[in-house]
A = this chain, B = another copy of it.
Amino acid sequence: MLEIKNVHKTFGKSEVLKGVNLSISKGDVVVILGPSGSGKTTLLRCINFLERADQGQAVFGNMNVNLKAATKKQIHEVRQKVAFVFQNYNLFNNKTALENVTEGLIIGRKMIKEKAIEIAKKSLDKVGLSDKYNAYPNELSGGQQQRVGIARAIALNPEIILFDEPTSALDPELVGEVLNIMKKIANEGTTMLVVTHEMSFAQDVANRVVFMDEGTVVEEGTPKEIFTQPKEERTQQFLKRVLPKEYIYYI
């Protein structure tokens, strides 16, 4: 479904990604863990061409793209297949919830308006926002905003959704709201690549957990493998620091 090979990315002098490989099958939910600065965000952004990698290949289904030299057309095609959910929502401030969702459909996909609105309403309903169609982002709570962000992504009917810490900008009380929606979508079989610090989500929902550090994938496996028997020392250290006390017994 999605395969990434040997992604390199340097900012100025610091090499942030040092040859990352990743492969995701259809329907998989893959969680990426890793300390701050390990390159998780950068990896997602390179996949979606929000950042140009210095080197690397990506295979989306039967489409093979060079992450460095992709043409405009290829980028456009990739973005049709891949949706992105931002950490800080990045909703269009000047558009209502509904318009936020239809924008990509009408302008990006050239869909006719009625159709787009229909789809947009459906995906807003799915995330439980049937009563907020006409609210502007600043009239929504953080959790609601993030749910619009998710609705905007799923409305595009992408083959894969990338989530970059979708709950870290939320108040503790709103986190649950968003995680529940994500679980629901995962259960419907959507392929997802999620950067998150929410261990319980990783544990409950992920098929696979990838641990990154300093620009490389250090270890990957099922949640159980990673949480209970991490092989690498760096993974162990990290988990010790991050997992709440209740989990510690795992290790």
Q: What's the minimum C-beta distance from A2 to chain B, rounded to whole angstroms?
A: 27
> Complex: how many Å from CA A167 to CA B172?
11
| In-complex Cβ contact of A200 among B36, B242, B245 (8 A) | B245
Q: What's the minimum C-beta distance from A78 to chain B, rounded to whole angstroms?
A: 31
**A244 — which chain B residues lie within 8 A by C-beta?**
200, 244, 246
A241 adjacent to B200 (CB under 8 Å) = no
Residue A139 CB within 8 A of the other chain: no
Residue A189 CB within 8 A of the other chain: no
Residue A173 CB within 8 A of the other chain: yes
Interface size on A (CB < 8 Å)?
14
Nearest CB in chain B to that of A174: its residue: B36
10 closest Cβ contacts across the A-B interface?
Answer: A246-B246, A172-B197, A173-B242, A200-B245, A36-B173, A173-B241, A168-B172, A200-B244, A172-B242, A168-B171
Residue A61 CB within 8 A of the other chain: no
Nearest CB in chain B to that of A204: its residue: B245
Residue A176 CB within 8 A of the other chain: yes
15 contacts across the A-B interface (CB closer than 8 A)? A35-B173, A36-B173, A168-B171, A168-B172, A171-B197, A172-B197, A172-B242, A173-B197, A173-B241, A176-B241, A200-B244, A200-B245, A244-B244, A244-B246, A246-B246
